[in-house]
Amino acid sequence: MDKQELRSILDQVAAFLELQGETPGGARIRDAQEAAAAEFAQTGRSSTLDELREHIPPGLVEMLRIPGLGVSKVRQIHDALHVESIVELEAAAADGRLAALSRFGPKAAHNVANAIAALREAGTHRLLHHALAEAEGIAHGLAALEGVRRVDIAGAVRRRCELIQDLEFVVVHRGDESHRDRLIRRLREAPGVTALAGKPGAVTLRFRSGALADVFLASEHDAGLALVRATGSATHVAELDARAGARGVRLEPGAAAWPDELSVYGALGLPWIPPELREGAGEVAAAAAGTLPRLVERSDLKGFLHCHTNYSDGTTTVREWADACRAAGYEWLGITDHSESSAYAGGLRADHVARQHDEIDAVNAHVADFVVLKGVEADILADGSLDYGPAILDRFDFVIASVHTRFGMNEAAMTERVLRALDDPRTTILGHPTGRLLLAREPYAIDLERVLERAAQRGVAIEVNADPHRLDLDWRMVRRARELGITISLGADAHSVAGMSNVELGLGVARKGWLTAAELLNARDAAAFLAYA
Looking at per-residue confidence, does 181 or 283 come out higher?
Answer: 283
Which H, E and C letters describe 137-160, residue by residue? HHHHHHHCCCCEEEEEECHHHHCC
CA distance 491 to 500: 10
Q: Which of 94-98, 234-238, 335-339, 341-345 has the lowest mean pLDDT?
A: 341-345
Residue 123 pLDDT grade (very low, low, confident, very high; cuts 50, 70, 90): low
Q: Please indicate, yes or no, whether residues 109 and 157 belong to a single structural domain of this protein.
A: no
Domain of 73? 3-125
Same domain, 108 and 243: no
282 and 355 assigned to the same domain: no
Q: How many residues in total does the chain contain?
A: 533
Rounded CA-CA distance 247/250 in Å is: 9
Q: Based on the domain organization, do 31 and 153 belong to the same domain?
A: no
Which one is predicted more confidently, 344 or 136? 136
Mean pLDDT of 408-429: 97
Please report, for the domain that includes residue 253, its CATH number: 3.30.460.10
3-state secondary structure of 524: coil
Report yes or no: 429 and 462 within 8 Å, Cβ to Cβ: yes
Q: Which CATH number belongs to the domain containing residue 450 in this structure?
A: 3.20.20.140
| Other C-beta atoms lying within 10 Å of the C-beta of residue 6 | 17
CA distances from 439 to 59, 194, 384 (A): 12, 28, 28
Last residue of a domain, one of 95, 125, 155: 125
* 96 and 137 belong to one structural domain: no
Output the pLDDT for position 345. 66
Statement to judge: residues 256 and 307 lie in one domain: no
pLDDT tier at 200 (50, 70, 90 boundaries)?
low
Phi, psi torsion values for 441, nearest 5 degrees = -145, 130
Q: How confident is the model at residue 36 (pLDDT cuts 50, 70, 90)?
A: confident
Domain check: are 327 and 269 in the same one? no
Which pLDDT score, from 0 to 100, does residue 120 have?
A: 76
Of 87, 107, 125, the last residue of a domain is: 125
Both 183 and 331 in one domain: the answer is no
Structure letter (DSSP) for residue 443: P
53: domain CATH number? 1.10.150.20
pLDDT tops 80 at residue 343: no
CA distance 511 to 497: 24
Tell me the three state secondary structure of residue 38.
helix
Query: Domain end: 244, 268, 289, which one?
Result: 289
Q: Same structural domain for residues 43 and 168?
A: no
Given a contact cutoff of 8 angstroms between Cβ atoms, the answer to whether 489 and 457 are in contact is no
For residue 193, give Cα distances in angstroms to 18, 37, 186, 229: 39, 46, 10, 25
If pLDDT is split at 50, 70 and 90, which confidence band does 363 have? very high
- 14: alpha, beta or left, given left = phi > 0 and alpha = psi -120 to 50? alpha
Beta strands in 180-235 (DSSP E): 193-199, 202-207, 212-219
153 lies in the same domain as 100: no
* 509, 295 Cβ separation under 8 angstroms: no
Q: How many domains does the chain have?
A: 3
**How far apart are alpha carbons 132 and 495 in whole angstroms?**
21
Q: Is 258 helix (H, G, I), strand (E, B) or coil?
A: coil
Burial of 440 (0-12, 13-18, 19+ CB in 10 A): middle
Query: Cα(432)–Cα(409) distance, rounded to whole angstroms?
Result: 17
Q: Are residues 322 and 251 in the same domain?
A: no
CB-based contact 447:415 (threshold 8 Å): yes
pLDDT mean across residues, the chain:
92
479-512 per-position pLDDT tens digit = 999 999 999 999 999 999 999 999 999 999 999 9
Within 13 A of 474's CA, how many CA atoms are on the CB side? Answer: 13
C-alpha 167 chain-centroid distance: 17
Q: Give pTM, 2 decimals.
A: 0.90
- Residues 467, 490: Cα–Cα separation, whole Å: 10
Contact 520, 297 (CB under 8 A): no
The SS3 assignment for 316 reads strand
pLDDT tens-digit profile of 467-477?
A: 999 999 999 99
Give Cα 435 to chain centroid, integer Å: 13
pLDDT at 119 over 60: yes
**Residue 376, SS3 per DSSP:** strand
pLDDT value, residue 1: 54
284 and 148 both lie in a single domain: yes
